[in-house]
Chain A
Amino acid sequence: MLGSTPRFLSYQAGESILHRLDARTKLLGTAVVVADALIASIPAGMAVAYALGLLIGLGAIHLLPALWRTLRPLLVLIALFGVLIVIITPGHALFRVGFIVASRPGLDLAIQLGLQSFLIIYTSSLLTLTTPPLAIAGALDWTLGFLRHLRFPVQDVIAMVAIGLTFVPLLIEETRKVIVAQRARGADLGMNAMLDENAMAALLIPLLLANLRRGEELAESMDARLYGVGERTSLHERHFRRDDLLAATVLAVFTAADVAISFWLHP
């Protein structure tokens, strides 16, 4: 009932290759892998994309076992959705069970979506595991920097996202505590609780209040340290180093291969 905190959104300190890459490389790299997954043909293009994913994973090899454990339940979910897609997509029938028809296009779609989802989630998890939220925020800031000229408050929005990410583990812990406390009082907080407004109130109100208060206090602490007064600098000078160049090359090569295979060799 009370397991360890799921870590797929939490940063874990370390010294792996992935850890040492510049956050901007990792952020853009993730975007590139997502694009590769979306354009990939089945099966060859997708194989290239997965090979890329595997290579990336080797850059933080010690995290893979724990990551696999966390992502395993997702496979079940993806499979379930896949089955649904196979059944409801119209098209050439593969086989029938009663009045349920499994279609060929459905199967193709299910496989494609399943493979894409898994790769995307896996890559994003690697990003958040090896990159502190504020580094991701900094990378987003740099990438979207041009929006500042359009008067868009890039820095503030990104700070909100980053702080939110930072607090996810704490929020998960707090949710657990509230659930325990209310169950200890006899509240039934199983799956059917979502329909019971009293039960949901018992869960959500304490959480909401505690976090509203925390939000205020955090804002005060940031104000007290002069956030927003002027142009911010950074402790970590962001340089692209040799490793980043290497990573960019690998991404470019695999992307080129993916594009070639998906569009020209398999029209």
Chain B
Amino acid sequence: MPILEHTGRQGLDVGPGEIVSVLGAPGSGKTELALELAFLKVPSHGEVLLRGINPLAQRRFFQLSSRPHDVTLLVQNAEDQLFARTVYDDVAFGPRHLGVAEDEVERRVIAALEAVGLGVGVRARSPFALSGGERRRVALAGVLAMEPVVLVLDEPTANLDPQARNEFLRFLAPLRGKSAIVWLTDSAREATLADRIYLLQNGMLQPVPAREALLTDWRRLAEAGIELPAVFQLARALDERGLILPPEGTPEAMRQAIINAWCESHAG
């Protein structure tokens, strides 16, 4: 039974413990979709259901704050929204607003900071004394500490250096298997980390094969404006020149396939 469901845009659903990825080219409207899924924007088509009910439909006139607190969104460049005097207070902001008791808040903050790899010493420091990458981790800790039932991530690794990007999935460890996670990205590589993938094109969602199988359909991805790993771009260029390549799913396998195909065609 999916816990979050979008009935418009040809549909999206995500169940507890799942990671679903939405893959879309820059400018395809990922942020707008993220806001709809987090009940911060009313969808223009269809509705978003939490446990089968649309919480916004019950909204009384003038009341902005009835959005469900079970659903949290990590916005793009979230590090820009830190404001508290200490890292601890900033991470505690979310859970405190949920009305959680102070000792439970403390437990959650410590656990969240640990999960994102920030040590004990960081707690009392000002968030502004940290580097950009560290601040983003503080922002992530802030949403982890809310222990949301559904977590939506809007391009969480944008503008991070390659190493930080690769580590990101690790930081979500405390929620894996429990919360439902929707990860919006423009990177095909990141999308393959999810259990299921939707392709976002012209505002519409289309399920596509997950994990390794995603890249075998690289032609469709290229059409949707997704920037492919260089090796697949090369495969496409070689394809146009008549070099026949098998449909591989991972960059390594594709690279090997290119080497094999070339060597074969030049054998002798």
A residues within 8 Å of B by Cβ? 1-2, 177-178, 180-190, 198, 201-202, 204-206, 209-210
Known A-B contacts A2-B41, A206-B81; the reply to A180 vs B75 at CB < 8 A is yes
Question: In whole angstroms, what is the CA distance A218 to B28 when docked?
Answer: 31
Question: Is A188 touching B41 in the complex (CB atoms < 8 A)?
Answer: no
6 residue pairs bridging A and B, Cβ less than 8 Å apart:
A1-B42, A178-B80, A184-B38, A185-B143, A186-B94, A189-B64
How many interface residues does B have (CB within 8 Å)? 28
Question: Is A180 touching B64 in the complex (CB atoms < 8 A)?
Answer: no
- Interface-centre pick from B78, B81, B84 (highest chain A CB count, 10 A): B81
Question: Is A1 touching B83 in the complex (CB atoms < 8 A)?
Answer: no
Question: Is B72 touching A184 in the complex (CB atoms < 8 A)?
Answer: yes
Task: Please classify the interface of chain A as helix (H, G, I), strand (E, B), loop, or mixed, using the class held by over half of its residues.
Answer: helix
Which residues B11-52 have CB closer than 8 A to chain A? 35, 38, 40-42
- Interface-centre pick from A178, A183, A189 (highest chain B CB count, 10 A): A183
B176 within 8 A of A: no
Q: Which residues of B contact A181 (CB under 8 A)?
A: 75, 78, 80-81
Q: Which residues of B contact A190 (CB under 8 A)?
A: 63-65
Which residues B119-137 have CB closer than 8 A to chain A? 128
Q: Which residues of B contact A183 (CB under 8 A)?
A: 40, 67
Question: In whole angstroms, what is the CA distance A2 to B143 when docked?
Answer: 22
Question: Is A188 touching B38 in the complex (CB atoms < 8 A)?
Answer: no
Q: Which A residue's beta carbon lies closest to that of B146?
A: A186
With contacts defined as CB atoms under 8 Å apart, how many contacts are there between chain A and chain B in the complex?
Answer: 64
Question: Is B94 touching A185 in the complex (CB atoms < 8 A)?
Answer: yes
Binary contact track B59-89/A, C-beta < 8 Å → 1, others 0 = 0000111010100111100101111100000
Q: Which B residue's beta carbon lies closest to that of A209?
A: B128
Q: Which residues of A contact B146 (CB under 8 A)?
A: 185-186
B142 within 8 A of A: yes
Q: Which residues of B contact A180 (CB under 8 A)?
A: 35, 40, 75
Cβ distance A194 to chain B, nearest Cβ, rounded Å:
13
Which residues B127-162 have CB closer than 8 A to chain A? 128, 142-143, 146
Question: Is B80 touching A184 in the complex (CB atoms < 8 A)?
Answer: no
Cβ distance A45 to chain B, nearest Cβ, rounded Å:
40
**Cross-interface CB contact of B80 among A2, A189, A201, A210, cutoff 8 Å:** A210
Question: Is B65 touching A188 in the complex (CB atoms < 8 A)?
Answer: yes
Q: Which A residue's beta carbon lies closest to that of B65?
A: A188
Question: Is A187 touching B93 in the complex (CB atoms < 8 A)?
Answer: yes
Question: In whole angstroms, what is the CA distance A210 to B82 when docked?
Answer: 11
Question: In whole angstroms, what is the CA distance A205 to B146 when docked?
Answer: 22
Q: Which residues of A contact B72 (CB under 8 A)?
A: 184-186
Q: Which residues of A contact B84 (CB under 8 A)?
A: 201
Question: Is A2 touching B35 in the complex (CB atoms < 8 A)?
Answer: yes
Question: Is A187 touching B41 in the complex (CB atoms < 8 A)?
Answer: no
Cβ distance A161 to chain B, nearest Cβ, rounded Å:
27
B98 within 8 A of A: yes
Q: Which A residue's beta carbon lies closest to that of B142?
A: A185
- Interface-centre pick from B35, B38, B75 (highest chain A CB count, 10 A): B75
Question: Is A178 touching B81 in the complex (CB atoms < 8 A)?
Answer: yes
Q: Which residues of A contact B75 (CB under 8 A)?
A: 177, 180-181, 184
Question: Is B41 touching A1 in the complex (CB atoms < 8 A)?
Answer: yes
Cβ distance B139 to chain A, nearest Cβ, rounded Å:
9
Question: Is A206 touching B97 in the complex (CB atoms < 8 A)?
Answer: no
